[in-house]
Amino acid sequence: MAKKILEVRNLRTYFHTFKGTVKAVDDVSFDINEGEILGVVGESGGGKSVTGFSVIRLIEEPGKIETGEIIYNGENLMKKSENQMNKVRGKDISMIFQDPMTSLNPVYTIGKQIEEVLLLHEKDLTKSQRKQKCIELLKSVGISNPESRMKSYPHQFSGGMRQRVVIATALAASPKLIIADEPTTALDVTIQAQILKLMQNLVEEHGCALMLITHDLAVISEIADRINVMYCGKIIETGNTKDIIKEYKHPYTEGLINSIPDLDKDKKKLESISGIVPNMFDLPEGCNFSPRCRYCKQICKEEEPELQQVGQSHYIACHFPLKGGEK
């Protein structure tokens, strides 16, 4: 029985703007087990990133975590003070951001930025031990000549290299959980695969869990153990990767899977999900996906569907689950 490392219960993160309130994360609950890779997938604006930031409580005005429990290692993070949270961030749970070009501070050397994590969280290391560790970390993410490159500045690195540095930073204090927010989206396609592979290996090596947030279902299907599909702030389908990919039951998931281009098949047109993501200030009554769903019925427009179990650890929120199955 896998040990749960993170339990999120009824998380609600709302943004209060002068135009109105955006329910970016609306009553989301999920778990992450030790050492597993959870993929969180969905369109832009679906609430995936906000979920990630909420876990380490990095939500700023006008956003606010309204309610919910975030239980890490048995403790509710919502009850911790800012000082206590700072001990968790970077040490127990660390994060990888989307855009490597802007994640690193341009005025400090990369060595210093990695070292900062050690200074904060591994205080009993000596200066030379820290330096040694930084060099090892850089080596482990595949950066050659780490001794000299430690003194380089971010602008002297390419995008892919910078992301490696970011990964090294995230791993520096041996966290139990890494939240990766679209880590490869900003990279060239050729580099993407490399970075993903690297992350997968390291995560396995260090034995930490990974919450991989992305809009790219293809990427998820490669490395994730389980998948959460989010739409408009809600989880609408969750389950093992195999189940989701092969036996999806939600129309939205169907749309996502079908829109992955398949080089093996011969097709004239790319498939897409009709319609656009709704205005978050003006969500539809009933099911959020109803305006775009081809199976929409009257009840869908009136009543919001609850998550219901449709298989072993497979849940969806839909009034009319699909029969499921590969195309």
Binding residues for another protein (CB under 8 A): 56, 58, 61, 82-83, 85-91, 94-95, 97, 99, 102-109, 116-117, 120-121, 153, 155, 166, 169
Where does residue 285 rank: exposed (0-12), middle (13-18), buried (19+ CB within 10 A)? exposed
| Nearest approach, Cβ of residue 224 and another protein (Å) | 22
Q: Select 83 or 272, whichever has its Cβ closest to another protein.
A: 83
Contacts of 152 (CB under 8 A, 6+ apart): 109, 110
Q: Select 120 or 277, whichever has its Cβ closest to another protein.
A: 120
| Nearest approach, Cβ of residue 119 and another protein (Å) | 10
| Nearest approach, Cβ of residue 19 and another protein (Å) | 17
Q: Select 99 or 222, whichever has its Cβ closest to another protein.
A: 99
| Nearest approach, Cβ of residue 57 and another protein (Å) | 10
Instruction: Please say whether the beta carbons of 183 and 199 come within 8 A.
Output: yes
Question: What letters, b where the CB count within 10 A reaches 16 and e where it falls short, cover 36-52?
Answer: bbbbbbbbebbbbbbbb
| Nearest approach, Cβ of residue 284 and another protein (Å) | 32
Q: Which of 4, 119, 134 is nearest to 69 (CA)?
A: 4
Q: Select 118 or 316, whichever has its Cβ closest to another protein.
A: 118
Q: What CA dihedral angle connects 272, 277, 283 and 287, to 10 degrees?
A: 30
Q: Select 89 or 234, whichever has its Cβ closest to another protein.
A: 89
Sign of CA dihedral 175, 181, 186, 190: positive
Instruction: Please say whether the beta carbons of 324 and 257 come within 8 A.
Output: no
| Nearest approach, Cβ of residue 71 and another protein (Å) | 19
The H or E element containing residue 214 is strand 209-214
Longest dimension (CA), the chain: 68
Q: Select 89 or 164, whichever has its Cβ closest to another protein.
A: 89
Q: Select 120 or 296, whichever has its Cβ closest to another protein.
A: 120
| Nearest approach, Cβ of residue 214 and another protein (Å) | 17
| Nearest approach, Cβ of residue 295 and another protein (Å) | 40
Q: Go through the chain and tell me how many residues it has.
A: 327
Q: Select 105 or 174, whichever has its Cβ closest to another protein.
A: 105
Q: How far apart are CA 6 and CA 176, in angstroms?
A: 10
Ranges of H-type helices in the chain: 48-55, 82-88, 100-103, 110-121, 127-140, 146-149, 159-171, 189-206, 217-223, 241-246, 251-258, 298-302
Where does residue 200 rank: exposed (0-12), middle (13-18), buried (19+ CB within 10 A)? middle
Q: How far apart are CA 14 and CA 300, in angstroms?
A: 24
